[in-house]
Structure 1
Amino acid sequence: MGVTMLAGDTQELRKARGAFFTPDELCRYVVDWAIRDGSEDVLEPSCGEAAFLVAAAKRLDQLQVAEGGRLAGVELHAGSSAHAASLVRAAGRRAEITTADFFTVQPEPSFSAVVGNPPYVRYQDFAGEARALSQRAALAAGVPLTGLASSWAAFTVHSALFLRPGGRLGLVLPAELLTVNYAAPVRRFLLERFARVRLVLFTERVFPEVQEEVVLLLAEGYGQSPSGVCELHQVHNAESLARGMGVAHRWTPKPSSGKWTASMLSAEALKAFTSTTEDGDEFTTLEAWGDTTLGMVTGNNKYFTLTPARAKELRLPPRELLPISPPGSRHLRSLTFSGADWSRLGRDGAPTLLFRPAGKPSAAAAAYIAQGEVADVSSAYKCRVRKPWWRVPLVQPADLFLTYMNADAPRLCDNMRSAFHLNSVHGVYLKDEVRSLGKALLPLASLSSATLVGGETVGRAYGGGMLKLEPREADRLPLPSPALLNQAQPRLESVRPQLTALTQAGQLLDASRVVDDVLLRGELGMRPGEISLLREAHRTLMNRRKARGKS
């Protein structure tokens, strides 16, 4: 079914309200799944040109149902609303189309099925009254959404409220459902409100005119006993749906609101990952080892961080300077950050010192503070809200550094220099009983394929295809348990020189193979095929993230 441009409507207006043409194959598949015997009452919210309602009319003809259930739709745009009704009439059926903002429509829990393609408007463009209405609608279902949520999130929740007990929800959603933090309440809602949740993922883009990847959400048994399990299918494209999808693989997200990124893996790879990291006590999480926190926020790194040469030029006394890991994390891609590393960076012109007088500033420091006031550094938000503005709040030196913006994978690095750190890296503060073991071995052990896959599943893709980990996400990073590392310590120490050389040369995957040989094969007894599945899983997720970043 083609797209008709109505009078007064434009491509720009359609894009602004998130309206995109849905391929016939998707509409047909979702509607055939939702309509079983033709008696179902069906609602298409934000129906646009009634693609799903027209498919429903054809489905009723296929089932040879004369009357069938009620067909209804809601559409914001008046011209599209009238056109939608005419299209359903042309298909031989009648539909009740309401012209309204869907979020202002009071839920009527009488529909057997709600099907459609919710509008996709990113949070930057989803503001004002429209956002407020959507948040109130989601909150009515007990689902709080943050200001970062795009339009589809509240739309999914509000749609479900129109279902009668046992009803079915079939939606075309952005793949963000699987990965973004703001969708966590939506993921929890789906697993807690439906008896069965199925996802269909595509390896090829479904909407060529937009870059966003999509998934099919097929949830049924609204209000019935939830299983907490996702059933996952992968197909090539929309046309592949007609050829069937084979056997689904089942997965239980932990927690229910946690990211569903692992669902992008094959059934075999997912099984290898979960059996390694969740089914026994050999693996735990970073949170079990210690606390991960943000670093210091200066308010102006160019002013507060100094090279040794610049500090000497300003004649600042050592007592007013703190050793820091320079901004960024490129220098933390090896296993340790030593005093020698810190000194070398300083000699090379990196800002390895933090300006922070602890008491009354010296004459040299007072002169530098005056320079900052002339340059208006003191008026920056983080500076003007603290007293005095030039004293950066301290975060004590961490045991380990964790890189949180990564092109390849998150890295743990032993802070041997006991340097302070800024908010360009996270600090990991290990528990007393595992501090010595963790500092020595976690940077090595974190290179295993199991942890690399875990980084992709708990983190999120960022601009340019970067992998970002916030502290609460890092808490869930899978890592070997203290018991496993105690057992593996002699063998890990024996390969430390090799791993140091490989990581310094930027050969992450080669280093990972060495660690896999020690931990996964040597200690856990995993078969080569299982380890290969983990490596392939990491490549799949990393390449997918980078490909999305390029687009």
Structure 2
Amino acid sequence: MKLIENASADKLRGGFYTPEPIAAFILKWGINGNHNDDILEPSCGDGVFIEQLKNSEYNYKSITAVEFDSVEAKKAAKIKLNNKTVINTDFHLYCNETLQRFNLIIGNPPYIRFQYFDEEQQMEAAKIFNRAGLKYSKLTNAWVSFVVGSSLLLKENGKIGFVLPAELLQVSYAQQLREFLAHFYNKINIISFEKLVFPDIQQEVVLLLCEKNNSGSHLIEHLELKDADDLKNLDVEVLKSPSKKIDFKSNKWTYYFLEQEEIDFLENIATKHNIPTIGKYAKVEVGITTGANNYFTVPLTTVNEYELNDFAKPMVGRSVQVNSAIFNKQDWEINSNLNAKAHLLVFPSSKNLNDHKGAKAYIKFGEDMRINKGYKTGIRDDWFVVPSIKVSDAFFIRRNNLYPRLIINEAGAYSTDTMHRIFIKPDTEIEAFTASYYNSLSLAFSEVTGRSHGGGVLELMPSEAERILLPYQLNNKKLLLTIDKMLRDKKNIDDILKITNIEILKKGYGLTQKEINLADKIWKKLSNRRLNRGK
């Protein structure tokens, strides 16, 4: 996988190449006894897959390798292998122009954001999406268009085998890709790894192995190995018969880490017990985007040094500053007195500063630090005026460790984009709303709707948080103080759930003990898998 974050020359061409055990296994799975395959590698880099094919004893008809970078293409061209063609061009262009079709398409496509495509690449990628009946957007990553384009180049029966970011299973911009794959292929196998394959970039990857055979069935299976070396002992025969039914709806493929009974439970529980989602009772928005949190969020010492009391507003910016289900004024004062960054600087426009010496001095300090040249600050009329200053009713932690927390904002504090803002809808009781969240079913859905990162972090975007099931009942309000106290006392979440699952799920919504146990099992399975990756 070729990751682009800082747009260095090395990363723009792709700097993270496929480990040999992975390339060898994908070839072994793909060829699997065939002797007459036309093979395509749409982004061959310096030729890892070609080398593996050279070192094997597989019989094949031809291999075509496409590589955008001329230096890497020359390296691949030097590998001595029969019936090999290396083409130095952009895959998107090749895909739209070639008439050749292939039995097997393999590789490790580039992981490049839309903004790093040149205009021609964007146009050619859009053509691929149009051919597949899909919508192309600026959120689309290169690996998505490589998967779609490769699928279009398959013969009537054929396979693709790719190394892809685990975002495939989770992120919203890959949602239509998941739907496309589910309909296009008859067999899908996903192989994930407990240990990071690319530890230097903290990027979790999976192997996507798809087969098109026109059987009419659509099945999927997930298999998790310890690391890439375990592939050497994996019999490809176990991948011949995936057993789980593909969900043609837009559910995330995180589901397929689970057993079929668990999948069926998650798909049916909301309808069976008429359980709504967070979005029915609240609007979830990103926190305040300052453009430079380290500058606009300050401790009390900075407020005093520059005499900024007129502009300093109470805020909470880190999850460690909140250890409860209710964040009150006393909690905020404790953070402030501990010199935490508990103050948000909300400056008026330049014409309304009224020659405030402290404010002007701090703004001058920001300009000396070039804060005014930032991506967000640089487009403002007054770079130091932060937009969307609103106090929310509650907070939802954006990035989480053990589990996501929902917190009432009793202190009336602001929050940066490290937390989401919760705005309660009319006729919703905030105490009941918050208490209703702390149960195993809601926590299970937080794992399913969110996305995990390489370090074991669970992140949820606002739309994802709104899709979490929330068994809301007015009567749940009575649980709030107990939940809050237990969190403040650092009680294990399991101790809280023993109480809340009975009151919220069993008594409130009629779930059986078996269903409650299943929800708890799903939450623990998914969260433990995620947390173990961070160790």
The TM-score, its normalising length taken from structure 2, stands at 0.77
Distance in 2 (CA, whole Å) between partners of 1:311 and 1:527 is 54
Contact 1:402 1:411 in 2 (8 A): yes
2:163 touches 2:206 (CA, 8 Å); kept in 1?
A: yes
- Mapping 1:291-330, distance limit 5 Å: 291-301=283-293, 303-305=295-297, 307=299, 311=303, 320-321=310-311, 323-330=313-320
8 Å CA contact 1:460–1:469 kept in 2: the answer is yes
- 8 Å CA contact 2:30–2:161 kept in 1: the answer is yes
Q: CA deviation at 1:42?
A: 4.8
Name the CA distance, whole Å, in 1 between partners of 2:480 and 2:424. Answer: 21
Q: Tell me by how many angstroms 1:427 deviates.
A: 0.7
Q: CA separation in 2, counterparts of 1:356 and 1:370? A: 13
Q: What CA distance in whole angstroms lies between the structure 2 residues aligned with 1:157 and 1:352?
A: 47
Assess if the C-alpha contact under 8 Å between 1:114 and 1:162 holds in 2.
Answer: no
Residue range with higher mean Cα deviation, 199-208 or 347-356: 199-208
Match of 1:274 among 260, 267, 287: 267
Q: Is the 8 Å Cα contact of residues 105 and 154 (structure 2) preserved in structure 1? A: no
Q: 1:361 to 1:105 in 2, by over 3 A?
A: closer
Among 245, 249, 253, which residue is 1:260 paired with? 253
1:345 to 329, 332, 335: 335
Aligned match of 1:31: 31
Deviation larger for 287-296 or 245-254: 245-254
Look up the match of 1:100. 88
Determine if the alignment matches structure 1 residue 16 to structure 2 residue 5. Answer: no
Which is worse superposed, 97-106 or 287-296? 97-106
Which among 238, 243, 261 is matched to residue 248 of structure 1?
243
1:499 aligns with 2:493: no
Correspondence for 2:469 = 478
- Distance across 1 between alignment mates of 2:501 and 2:468: 17
Aligned amino acid, residue 488 of structure 2? Q
SS at match of 1:284: coil
Matches within 5 A, 1:117-516: 117-119=107-109, 121-123=110-112, 135-142=122-129, 144=136, 146=138, 149=141, 151-164=142-155, 166-174=156-164, 175-191=166-182, 194=184, 196-202=186-192, 212-220=204-212, 231-234=220-223, 236=225, 237-238=230-231, 239-242=233-236, 244=238, 248-252=243-247, 254-255=249-250, 259-277=252-270, 279-280=271-272, 282-301=274-293, 303-305=295-297, 307=299, 311=303, 320-321=310-311, 323-356=313-346, 366-377=356-367, 379-381=372-374, 382-383=376-377, 385-433=379-427, 435-436=428-429, 439-462=430-453, 464-480=455-471, 485-486=472-473, 489-490=474-475, 492-506=476-490, 507-516=492-501
Structure 1 position 52, deviation (Å):
8.4
Tell me, in whole angstroms, the C-alpha distance in 2 between the residues paired with 1:391 and 1:106: 47
How far off is 1:504 after superposition? Answer: 1.8
Q: Offset of 1:455 from its aligned partner?
A: 1.8
8 Å Cα contact 1:202-1:214 kept in structure 2? yes
Contact 2:278 2:467 in 1 (8 A): yes
Q: Distance in 2 between matches of 1:17 and 1:426?
A: 33
Residues 247/526 of structure 1: CA separation in 2 closer, same or farther (3 Å cut)? farther
| 122 and 55 in structure 1: CA distance in 2 versus 1, 3 angstrom threshold | same
How many Å apart are 1:406 and its aligned residue? Answer: 1.1
> Secondary structure in 2 aligned to 1:346?
helix
- Checking the alignment, whether the CA contact within 8 Å between 1:146 and 1:182 is kept in structure 2 is no
State the Cα distance separating 1:337 from its structure 2 match.
1.6
Post-superposition offset of 1:451: 1.9
Q: 1:84 to 1:530 in 2, by over 3 A?
A: farther
Q: In structure 1, list runs of 5 or more residues that go unmatched.
A: 1-11, 61-69, 87-94
For residues 199 and 86 of structure 2, what CA distance do their matches in structure 1 show?
A: 28
Aligned length: 494
| Closer/same/farther in 2, CA of residues 52 and 521 from structure 1, 3 Å limit | farther
Q: Matches of 2:333 and 2:408 in 1, distance apart?
A: 16
Instruction: Tell me, yes or no, if structure 1 residue 116 matches structure 2 residue 106.
Output: yes
Distance in 1, Cα, partners of 2:383 & 2:235: 61
**AA partner of residue 146 (structure 2):** F
Structure 2: how far apart are the matches of 1:316 and 1:128?
A: 41
Looking at structure 2, the residues matched to 212 and 295 of structure 1 have their Cα atoms a distance apart, in angstroms, of 27
- 1:285 touches 1:478 (CA, 8 Å); kept in 2? yes
The 3 A distance-change label for structure 1 pair 291 and 322 is farther
- In structure 1, what is the Cα distance between the partners aligned to 2:450 and 2:50? 37
The residue type equivalent to 1:428 in the other structure is I
Q: Following the alignment from structure 2 to structure 1, what is the Cα–Cα distance between the partners of residues 14 and 414?
A: 47
The change in CA–CA distance for 1:132 and 1:449 in structure 2 (over 3 A counts) is farther
Q: State how far apart, in whole Å, the 1-side matches of 2:305 and 2:95 are.
A: 69
Distance 1:543 1:362, change over 3 A: same
Write out per-residue CA displacement over residues 223-266 of structure 1, whole angstroms, 9 at most, x where no aligned residue. x99x8x662242645333345256612241642xx532222223
Provide closer, same or farther for how the CA distance between residues 136 and 118 of structure 1 changes in structure 2, counting only shifts above 3 A: farther
What is the alpha-carbon distance in structure 2 between the residues aligned to residue 417 and residue 13 of structure 1?
46
SS in structure 1 of the partner of residue 414 of structure 2 = coil
Of the structure 1 ranges 468-477 and 296-305, higher mean CA displacement relative to structure 2 is found in 296-305
Shift in alpha-carbon separation, 1:290–1:28, aligned structure 2, 3 A: same
**Deviations for 1:202-240, whole angstroms, at most 9, x for unmatched residues?**
455696998753223314268x99x8x662242645333
Pair member with larger Rg: 1
CA contact (8 A) 1:499 1:514 kept: no
Given that residues 24 and 51 in structure 1 are in contact (C-alpha distance below 8 angstroms), is that contact kept between their aligned partners in structure 2?
A: no
Map Cα deviations across residues 16-73 of structure 1 (whole Å, 9 max, x no partner): 373543454442323339x6xx77655444563547877998478xxxxxxxxx5342
